[in-house]
Amino acid sequence: MAKSAYIHIPFCAHKCDFCDFAAFAGLDDLSDQYTKTVISEIEGRLKEQPNNHKLQTVFFGGGTPGYVDPKQLGAIIASLDNETGLEKDAELCLETTPQTITVEKCKQWQSFGIKRISIGIESLNDKELIALSRGHTREQARAGFATARAGGFTNIALDLMYGLPEQTLESWRQTLDDLLALEPEHISAYGLTIAENSPLLIRYPRESDVYPDEDTFVLMYETLVQKCSDAGLFQYEIANFAKAGYESKHNLTYWKNEEYLAFGVSAHRYYRGTRSSNFRSLRRYMRDYLLDETSESIDEQTKMKEAIFLGMRLRQGLDLKIFQRDFGVDLTQSRASELEKLQDGGFVEIADQKLRLTQKGVLMSNSVLSELI
Ligand SMILES: C[S@@+](CC[C@H](N)C(=O)[O-])C[C@H]1O[C@@H](n2cnc3c(N)ncnc32)[C@H](O)[C@@H]1O
Ligand code: SF4
């Protein structure tokens, strides 16, 4: 049973050089047909495997869901409502770029129940935005935020990246100061990851010194945590910060290892004990939308590992009592020696029956977690 659904909308005004998502520019002609395919997928999959639960969250990710005709999102929402139902106060969220936002669109989105908007700002430094081939300037980014507010959004999340070409600790500080002055309800900030075949690498090879070095990268993360905390944004996950009550309910589904539906090209779901994904090729998805590209049935052992891996991302930590209830395992006993080593090294701590990464542990989270699972 799933209380959340992810919908992938793959269309963008232009393709950014760093982006490795299923996101396509210049295929706008397909978007009507794509919407119909997603609706057929929702109907087909939920007929085959009904979900006897109303949805509490729906997340339109991409791609740029804010770029397409809002009516297409409205049609998908109506189909979800029909096939599984939506809670009255469900968190409906959409991702978009700053330059797609208009007051009219905000009103249309809200008329379908979308109350949260997540804007990809990435940086407020023009040199960095050009280096990323981002397609918007600092001023356009700020204008996008102002338009979302003027359009009535009281729950705005901003996405940022660090470790960018041309970025310095000073320019990152400035981006954070300017961004926090806007008083967003939520910030997500991820280190730039560069895929092997990324066009960004042609202009900025990996070993080039335009990227911040490792020490600077660590300082950037620490600056992020400090500045968000000073601004009253609570760090509730390794890379996510929110005012009280504005945490992303949708993403909490993932981190709590709960099941969710997913529809659209390349979308990944966790449903009825199986993790599966749709085709990443747009043409293949539109032909074979009820087939999976990958599928893995999650056994108890894997589920346990995932619960540790995901739960430890939450700053409140992994609830050891709930873990014992769900899996019948007391981690403080079964992993006693590993935990002692990690505690002695200052990487994890246990308080109030919660096992959590320390700030030092967060910086090395992958190696710390691999010790545990
Ligand atoms: C699908 S995009 C958000 C919506 C919209 N397409 C946009 O770009 O503004 C989701 C977010 O993922 C992050 N992202 C994309 N590519 C990334 C990469 N290579 N490394 C780190 N973060 C990335 C960016 O912060 C981006 O805003
Ligand atoms: S980062 Fe966003 S706008 Fe840029 S290509 Fe990816 S999905 Fe599209």
Check which CATH number belongs to the domain holding 100 and give it: 3.20.20.70
In this predicted structure, the answer to whether residue 252 has a pLDDT above a threshold of 90 is yes
Identify the domain boundary among 208, 226, 255.
255
Describe the strand order of the beta sheet including 268-271 as a list of residue ranges.
Answer: 268-271, 274-277, 294-297
pLDDT confidence band for 43 (50 / 70 / 90): very high
What would the mean pLDDT of 255-277 be, rounded to a whole number?
97
**Which percentage of the chain shows pLDDT scores above 90?**
95
Regarding whether 229 and 110 lie in a shared domain, the answer is yes
Regarding whether 123 and 219 lie in a shared domain, the answer is yes
The vertex-19 CA angle with 17 and 20, nearest 5°, equals 125
Number of C-beta neighbours around residue 245 at 10 A? 8
What would the mean pLDDT of 52-65 be, rounded to a whole number?
97
Cis peptide before 63 (omega within 30 of 0): yes
pLDDT of residue 330: 95
Q: How far apart are CA 268 and CA 259, in angstroms?
A: 11
| 3-class state of residue 268 by DSSP | strand
pLDDT of residue 55: 98
**Residue 15: inside a domain, yes or no?**
yes
Regarding whether 324 and 248 lie in a shared domain, the answer is no
For the CA of 18, the nearest atom of ligand 1 = 19
The total domain count for the chain is 2
What number of CA atoms fall less than 13 Å from residue 189's CA on the CB side?
Answer: 25
In this predicted structure, the answer to whether residue 124 has a pLDDT above a threshold of 90 is yes
**Residue 313: inside a domain, yes or no?**
no
On whether the CB atoms of residues 85 and 10 are closer than 8 A, the answer is no
In this predicted structure, the answer to whether residue 75 has a pLDDT above a threshold of 90 is yes
Regarding whether 42 and 177 lie in a shared domain, the answer is yes
Identify the domain boundary among 201, 231, 255.
255
| Strands 261-263 vs 4-9: parallel, antiparallel or unpaired | parallel
If residue 187 lies in a helix (H) or strand (E), which one and from where to where?
strand 186-191
CA distances 62 to 3, 234, 285, 319, Å, are: 20, 26, 15, 32
Ligand 1: residue whose CA is nearest its atom 14:
19
Q: Give the number of the ligand closest to the Cα of residue 61.
A: 1
**Residue 126: inside a domain, yes or no?**
yes
Regarding whether 251 and 323 lie in a shared domain, the answer is no
On whether the CB atoms of residues 159 and 118 are closer than 8 A, the answer is yes
The domain of 334 spans 318-373
At 142, the amino acid letter reads: R
Q: How far apart are CA 319 and CA 256, in angstroms?
A: 10
CATH at 364: 1.10.10.920
What would the mean pLDDT of 80-91 be, rounded to a whole number?
97
Regarding whether 212 and 357 lie in a shared domain, the answer is no
In this predicted structure, the answer to whether residue 372 has a pLDDT above a threshold of 90 is no
Q: Give the number of the ligand closest to the Cα of residue 122.
A: 1
Q: How far apart are CA 102 and CA 104, in angstroms?
A: 5
Ligand 1: residue whose CA is nearest its atom 1:
62
pLDDT of residue 317: 93
Regarding whether 228 and 355 lie in a shared domain, the answer is no
Cα 244 → chain centroid = 19
**Residue 62: inside a domain, yes or no?**
yes
Regarding whether 338 and 205 lie in a shared domain, the answer is no
Regarding whether 161 and 21 lie in a shared domain, the answer is yes
Distance 19 CA to ligand 1 centre (A): 7
Tell me which residue of 35, 26, 82, 43 sits closest to 60, measured CA to CA.
Answer: 35
Regarding whether 183 and 57 lie in a shared domain, the answer is yes
On whether the CB atoms of residues 104 and 70 are closer than 8 A, the answer is no
190 lines ligand 2 (CB under 6 A): no
Q: How far apart are CA 146 and CA 299, in angstroms?
A: 47
In this predicted structure, the answer to whether residue 209 has a pLDDT above a threshold of 90 is yes
In this predicted structure, the answer to whether residue 366 has a pLDDT above a threshold of 90 is no
Lookup: tokens for 301: 């052992």
